Amino acid sequence: MAHGHLHVEPVTDGDDEIAAALEDVSVPALTAVLVGLTGDPAPVRGPIRPRQWVHNEFQGALTEDEKALLRRDALAVIRSWRDAGCPPAKELDPALVHEIMNWIACEPVPDDYVAMYRDEMDLEGRNPRAIRLPDPEQVPLDPGFGVLVIGCGESGLLAGIRLKEAGIPFTILEKNADVGGTWYENRYPGARVDVASHYYNYSFGPNDSFSEYYARQPELYRYFRARFDEHGIGAHVRWRCEVERAVWDDDGARWQVTYRTADGTTHTASASALISGVGLLSRPLIPDIPGLADFAGPAFHSAQWDERVDLGGRRVALIGAGASGFQLGPAVVDEVERLTVFQRTPQWMAPNPRYHDQIRPGERWAMRHLPGYGRWYRFMLMWQSSDRLLELVRVDPEWPDFPRTANAFSATRREAFVRWIDEQVGDDPDLARKVTPDYPPMAKRMLQDNGSWLRCLRRPHVDLVNDQILRVEPDAIVTTAGRHEVDVIVMATGFRASEVLWPMEIVGRGGVSLTDVWQGRPAGYLNITVPDFPNLFILGGPATSLAHAGSVIFLTECQMRYVGDALALLAGGRRSIEPTPTAYARYAEDLQAEIGTLMWGHPSIEHSWYKAADGRVYVLCPWRLVDYWAMTARLKPEDHTVS
Ligand code: NAP
């Protein structure tokens, strides 16, 4: 497997080109690279130190002079390294890696985080999350052992890569005709990731292919396609096969899977273990609005974009102002005759000037040529967001402004975000009022923003309607306050997130169905496994969405690590593994207790895809990343029944 991500393309550029490239890079990350190239800690022990993290700045508030000095030293080192033929970077002592982390972070990085980052960054190229099978000399692979994976999106592909690398036989059944899942399906104009590109990719393998800091859908699709090709996953996939049902056969210790192919016929397959990689955001939620079916023009969901429909010169209704609508509106506004945005709840936007920016050429060069640059850049991305931002939604019961804001931190962010709105539309109080949320930042999904949304809403041919939709007529949408004639309806109305694994039917030991076990309250031990459903592993299922800034790919990699431990037992001849009912119940209880300390499920938040029908939250990860990483780092035999 191509996990040696510190193997970079050798530098052949001249001194001037290198110097020019260094102007574009993050100097703290560059300095960390220098230590790796020379093994000499001097650059992080000198008088120049990053002094403070400014969100999305990546320079640690170094002055121009300080950056120039560090760049000058870097140029000298890189030149000699190039002239020596670009030998591999040195393997650094763990204490020195920790020292570099402290230097970049401008504060001591706690030991548990250091362990997580070292695993994530894998500076040594050891591929620590690979599945480790028993020594085949001692424990030969059970000849009947094989795995079925449902879905070839991010998590199913990850499973395929890990299985392939371990030499475990597997087949992936994918309902689409190609790889990518979300990034294959969501082809609406403007679709892009709003987690930084260099964090939203697998921890292994290269991350130098992105051209924008927040990559657009075609580039993300190509990213997954490239990993798929380079790992040779194609021979293992059956396309356009939609799994309908999976039944556990306790006698044979196998999953019997029924799936439908494109021609409508039904087939079966069986395997020792079943991995679901279908994700939470794959089944569109079509709103239940009276009259929708009788609309005369095209009406489609953002995830089922109809490329045949030309929006040019048409009156378009956009229902939904969540992450998808927010990207879609500005992307189509120039071509439509009229855009009417139906917004039920406004969303908080975090100002981010880089949101639509191209990655600077020198930074792309550094990702491609400087060993470890991409790893240290990722460290910075993770350090400044993720776990810190979880505190934004922690309920402070003493907080006087509750529940408009959740705590003191939440209040400062609210102030900054209100200022951001005011800067843009303060001269239009009616619009400002309509787009200002009355719930705390991050209590619903935050959006990255460079001003494109409010610029779009200010256009003369755009209306923002926040009255309740009553019905659809063949040529109009009718709200409590009026009738809006439209030619096309685009529904950016989200997904059936809490109906985990729907519409598949999963039947475990004794004929019990997962739907009956969950009864609308999806859960899993570590969000992955369920008692009486042996050898079933759910990636990206219950409590695996990240609502506090971070990459879901981090979570699925943690999950696959745990699954790998379980598969190693099965590959070595054990029949089945499942969590004990006690461990499952305890975990679910702890998880719900933790979610209860956060804003996401608070009754004051009326509409949110985070909430299930009973108003509770089952789909979000409430743990700090470092805690989930630790929970999944090693399979605990005491929490499982293995036969
Ligand atoms: P969403 O966040 O669930 O937004 C759906 C929108 O439709 C909301 O504005 C919702 O209003 C509205 N809506 C739903 N049912 C409605 C109804 N019956 N009547 C009127 N309005 C209705 O869905 P999404 O925008 O597709 O995003 C889902 C998630 O996918 C995101 O949170 C994110 O995790 C992911 N995503 C990410 C990106 C990215 O990385 N940039 C892009 C797209 C999606 P309420 O707010 O009132 O419920």
Do 522 and 638 share a domain, yes or no?
yes
- Rounded CA-CA distance 619/616 in Å is 9
Distance from the alpha carbon of residue 116 to the mean position of ligand 1, in angstroms: 32
Do 231 and 189 share a domain, yes or no?
yes
Q: Both tokens of residue 217?
A: 């859908």
Nearest Cα residue to atom 4 of ligand 1 = 322
Taking CA atoms, 601 is separated from 441, 515, 525, in Å, by: 14, 22, 21
Best of 221, 292, 344, 457 to mutate for ligand 1, by most ligand atoms within 8 A of CB? Answer: 344
First-residue to last-residue Cα distance in the chain: 32
Q: Is residue 321 part of a domain?
A: yes
Q: In this predicted structure, what is the pLDDT of residue 574?
A: 94
Strands laid side by side in the 242-249 sheet? 266-271, 254-260, 242-249, 505-507
Helix 373-384, helix 94-105: angle, nearest 10: 50
Do 422 and 374 share a domain, yes or no?
no
Q: In this predicted structure, what is the pLDDT of residue 2?
A: 36
Q: Is residue 285 part of a domain?
A: no
Distance from the alpha carbon of residue 461 to the mean position of ligand 1, in angstroms: 23
Do 38 and 173 share a domain, yes or no?
no
Residue 29: give the domain boundaries.
Answer: 2-129+361-385
Distance from the alpha carbon of residue 245 to the mean position of ligand 1, in angstroms: 28
Do 437 and 328 share a domain, yes or no?
yes
Report residues of the chain scoring pLDDT below 70.
1-6
> For ligand 1, what atom is nearest to the CA of residue 606?
47
Q: What residues flank ligand 1, with Cβ below 6 Å?
A: 192-194, 281, 287, 319-325, 327, 342, 344-345, 445, 469, 492-495, 607, 609
Distance from the alpha carbon of residue 244 to the mean position of ligand 1, in angstroms: 26
pLDDT tens digits, one per residue of 245-296:
999 999 999 999 999 999 999 999 999 999 999 999 999 999 999 999 999 9
| Strand, helix or coil for residue 223 | helix
CATH number of 177's domain? 3.50.50.60
Q: Is residue 287 part of a domain?
A: no
Do 323 and 459 share a domain, yes or no?
yes
Tell me which of 491, 521, 550 is where a domain ends.
Answer: 491
Nearest Cα residue to atom 28 of ligand 1 = 494
Q: In this predicted structure, what is the pLDDT of residue 1?
A: 34
Instruction: Give strand pairing partners of 485.
Output: 476
Q: Is residue 284 part of a domain?
A: no
Distance from the alpha carbon of residue 44 to the mean position of ligand 1, in angstroms: 44
Distance from the alpha carbon of residue 321 to the mean position of ligand 1, in angstroms: 6
Distance from the alpha carbon of residue 411 to the mean position of ligand 1, in angstroms: 24
Q: In this predicted structure, what is the pLDDT of residue 53?
A: 85
What's the domain count of the chain? 3
Helix 15-22, helix 361-369: angle, nearest 10: 110
Q: Is residue 390 part of a domain?
A: no
Q: What is the DSSP string of 277-341?
A: ---SS-SB-----TTGGG-SS-EEEGGG--TT---TT-EEEEE--SHHHHHHHHHHTTT-SEEEE
Q: In this predicted structure, what is the pLDDT of residue 140?
A: 85
Best of 318, 450, 491, 493 to mutate for ligand 1, by most ligand atoms within 8 A of CB? Answer: 493
Q: Is the dihedral of CA 330, 332, 337, 342 positive or negative?
A: negative
Distance from the alpha carbon of residue 450 to the mean position of ligand 1, in angstroms: 19
Q: In this predicted structure, what is the pLDDT of residue 4?
A: 44
Do 591 and 466 share a domain, yes or no?
no
